Amino acid sequence: MHSSESTMGARRAGSYHGPATTRKAGTAPASQETTMRNPFARGPRALIACLALVLPAVTPVPAQAQKKYDTGASDTEIRIGNFVPYSGPVSAYGTIGKTHAAYFAKINAEGGINGRKITYLSADDAYNPAQSVEQTRKLVERDGVLLMFGALGTSHNQAVHRYMNQRKVPQLFVSTGATRWGDPKNFPWTMGWQPTYQLEGRTFAQHILATRPQAKVAVLMQNDDFGKDYLKGVLDGFGEQAKQRIVVQQTYEVGDPTVDSQMVALKGSGADTFINISTPKFAAQSIRKAADIGWKPAHYLVSVSLSISSVLKPAGLDNARGVMTASYLREPSDPSNQGTPELAGYLAFMKQFYPAGDPNDSLNVIGYSQAQTLVQVLRQAGDELTRANIMKQAASLKMDLPMLYPGISLQTGGEDFFPIKKMQLVRFDGSRYAPVQ
């Protein structure tokens, strides 16, 4: 966002369309709420607040039980903060925040969390770390959120990493696979969610060594912490053969208009294998450009850009045929998932609470699954909604999320802040991803 303060809206529990009812942080209680128009109608820079109007059913609590709250929690409300790029070069990721909001609307419509409704405040940082800092400070200091959840971007979360830990505010389930999020000794208030970029990079390199031992590898990477962390995994996976296997590297900046020149240079190197460490906009460009210039390497695409609807369709499905990636979530378009209760539950949610979203977009599956994880943490916390107990519960998870790939589960521990630790290599066949054996 720009320096001017954005308006704050709230989504009515139920349908994802229509007018919303809201109150800003620090204003009158819910009984004095006023009707506002849909915040997305004002543009992506609006803050989203997922605030239900449904009166929750309250379970009687024994008189001797003591409720404990930190800032952002009360008998009636849990305030959750987030930033995600609703605008800018990677605005495709904005749908994750919208899915979070829709899922919390669903939870509120069903009675909330232990009788409390969720207020979800999601800010647009335009994928700019400086704005990530500004929005985080507003959410923590002005809006009084209990925790930050699912904020997106490696450099962006890194920009507030120390701040969150110094203030002892949970920085939970960040939407980035950097390895730094699993360091409870030095940063006990920060936890990742997805498999690490280094794990994924090692997986690609090891598969290349096993199937193409003489490969000439070209690497395209985003020139920031995300790209560098991922590249480290690739180098570790190749080990002593890294210098021999990687024949060329090209980088791009987030503000670059295209990666066309980089793709021409990669083809010119004579490489026959391509590791593509790009965010959605540039991933789509690179797939299309490779087809345009007649370059057909074995193509390994980072999982943050595996979305069929946001990346492969814009690139051209035929152009993307054969692209490999690593997945940990079920693909809604995969025929093997059709008819399963897991997919049915997800599709029903999308239809009722986020009808404007594409149910086949894997980014929405991410948002859905992340929100389910946080809801479990909040339920486990019970009436002790302190920041310390939130982290305690987050570090005590063992669950099978419906949309996780079969055989993959989510588990944490006191020294284990990487909830998801496995991935499945898959290949795009022109219409869907299929497992690579």
pLDDT band of residue 334 (cuts 50, 70, 90) is confident
Q: Are residues 249 and 377 in the same domain?
A: no
CB atoms within 10 A of CB 130: 11
Instruction: Of 16-20, 51-55, 90-94, give the lowest mean pLDDT range.
Output: 16-20
Query: Smallest Cα–Cα separation from 332: which of 348, 315, 356?
Result: 348
Q: Which domain holds residue 160?
A: 20-195+344-411
Pair 107, 254 in one domain: no
> Averaged over 149-174, what is the pLDDT?
98
Convert the pLDDT of each residue in 369-417 to its tens digit. Answer: 999 999 999 999 999 999 999 999 999 999 999 999 999 999 999 999 9
185 shares a domain with 44: yes
My answer on whether 48 and 187 are in the same domain is yes
The mean pLDDT value for 182-187 works out to: 96
Q: Is residue 209 part of a domain?
A: yes
Question: Is a pLDDT exceeding 60 seen at residue 139?
Answer: yes
Which token pair is 385? 């909604």
Is 333 within a domain?
A: no
271-308: pLDDT as tens digits = 999 999 999 999 999 999 999 999 999 999 999 999 99
Do 207 and 180 share a structural domain? no
Residue type, 71: T
In a domain, 420, yes or no: no
Residues 314 and 213 in one domain: yes
Residue 79, pLDDT > 60, answer yes
- Residue 93 in contact with residue 122, Cβ under 8 Å? no
pLDDT value at position 65? Answer: 65
Is 379 within a domain? yes
Tell me how far apart the alpha carbons of residues 96 and 382 are, in angstroms, rounded to a whole number. 26
Query: Do 207 and 291 belong to one domain?
Result: yes
Find the distance separating the first CA and the last CA of the chain, reported in whole Å.
44
- When pLDDT is averaged across residues 214-241 and rounded to a whole number, the result is 97
Is there a single domain that holds both residue 350 and residue 384? Answer: yes
Distance CA 369, CA 404 (A): 8
- CATH number of the domain where residue 281 is located: 3.40.50.2300
Lowest mean pLDDT among 7-11, 47-51, 69-73, 176-180: 7-11
Q: Do 178 and 162 share a structural domain?
A: yes
Same domain, 290 and 362: no
Number of folded domains in the chain?
2
Alpha carbons 238 and 352: distance in angstroms, whole number? 46
Q: Cα–Cα distance between 156 and 138 in angstroms, integer? A: 15
Distances (CA, A) of 67 to 76, 148, 299: 12, 22, 54
Residues 56 and 183 in one domain: yes
The last residue of one of the domains, among 327, 362, 383, is 327
pLDDT the model gives residue 333: 85
Single pTM value for the model: 0.83
**Tens-place pLDDT, residues 109-121:** 999 999 999 999 9
Return mean pLDDT, the chain.
Answer: 88
SS (H, E, C) the chain: CCCCCCCECCECCCCCCCCEEECCCCCCCHHHCEEECCHHHHCCCCEEEECCCCCCCCCCCCCCCCCEECCCECCCEEEEEEEECCCCCCHHHHHHHHHHHHHHHHHHHCCCECCEEEEEEEEECCCCHHHHHHHHHHHHHHCCCCEEECCECHHHHHCCHHHHHHHCCCEECCECCCHHHCCCCCCCCECCCCCCHHHHHHHHHHHHHHHCCCCCEEEEEECCHHHHHHHHHHHHHHHHHHHHHEEEEEEECCCCCCCHHHHHHHHHCCCCEEEEECCHHHHHHHHHHHHHCCCCCEEEECHHHCCHHHHHHHHCHHHHCCCEEEECECCCCCHHHCCCHHHHHHHHHHHHHCCCCCCCCHHHHHHHHHHHHHHHHHHHHCCEECHHHHHHHHCCCEECCCCECCCCCEECECCECCCCCCCEEEEECCCCEEECC
What is the Cα–Cα distance from 100 to 98, expressed in whole angstroms? 5
At 120, is the secondary structure helix, strand, or coil?
strand
Residue 430 covered by a domain: no
Q: Of 327, 359, 376, which residue is a domain's last?
A: 327
CA dist., res. 370 & res. 173, Å (int): 7
Decide if 377 is inside a domain: yes
Beta bridge partners of 424: 327
Give domain status of residue 427, yes or no.
no
Q: Based on the fold, state whether residues 176 and 218 are members of the same structural domain.
A: no
One-letter amino acid identity for 275?
Answer: I
Listed residue (30, 193, 191) closest to 116, CA to CA: 30
Q: What is the distance between the alpha carbons of residues 109 and 120, in angstroms, rounded to a whole number?
A: 14
Residue 67 phi, psi (nearest 5): -90, 140
Flag whether 72 is in a domain. Answer: yes
When comparing pLDDT for 293 and 11, which is higher? Answer: 293
Rg, the chain, Cα only: 22
